[in-house]
Amino acid sequence: MANTWLPPVEYIATLPRATAYACLYFTDTAGRPFQLRASDRTARWQWPGGNMDPGETPWETAVRECREETGMTFTGEPRLLGTHFVTDRGEDWPANHIGFIFDGGELTDEQIAAVVLDPGEHSEYRLRTLDEWEREMEPAEFARLAEIDRARRTGSTVYVETGPAAD
């Protein structure tokens, strides 16, 4: 077998492309998931979070994005609830997308009342039961919410995959 070793820069160029995001999953004290409505053309419901910046860890990204999007400074410890893998979506997003969803815990009524949204990113926030969210969300997006909620309630960690149409 011929020597096929490549310098790291050349080898990395042969690998699939991937981007990463991280977020925090919150509920209120009644267990209702907290979500933000994107103000972009998708108007999707999502958790406080976003894409990683160069040099950031997933945890640093989740905490930074939460502060930027809601005004909340999260000081808890990192507890991973799940990872999310989205396949390459072609021209729309020509890379795989990997997400890290961390447990943000329960928000008090005072914390919820103090949320300040960045209008460039989100138009509103809501707290709803899972049954209510299921009626509001696309099936793949709701399935991810339900899996993360289950991980939170059971103390487990989940892995979720979605195809090009989700996320």
Q: What is the pLDDT of residues 119-143, one digit of tens each?
A: 999 999 999 999 999 999 999 899 9
Give the torsion sign (CA, 107, 78, 130, 134). Answer: positive
Whether 6 maps to a domain, the answer reads: no
Whether 5 maps to a domain, the answer reads: no
Whether 60 maps to a domain, the answer reads: yes
Cα(129)–Cα(56) distance, rounded to whole angstroms? Answer: 33
Domain housing 146: 18-162
Whether 65 maps to a domain, the answer reads: yes
Whether 167 maps to a domain, the answer reads: no
Whether 78 maps to a domain, the answer reads: yes
pTM score: 0.90
Q: How many angstroms separate the Cα of 129 from the Cα of each of 29, 30, 136, 167?
A: 12, 9, 11, 21
* Alpha helix positions (H), 46-129: 58-70, 109-113
Cα(27)–Cα(32) distance, rounded to whole angstroms? Answer: 5
pLDDT digits (tens, 9 = 90+) for 69-85: 999 999 999 999 999 99
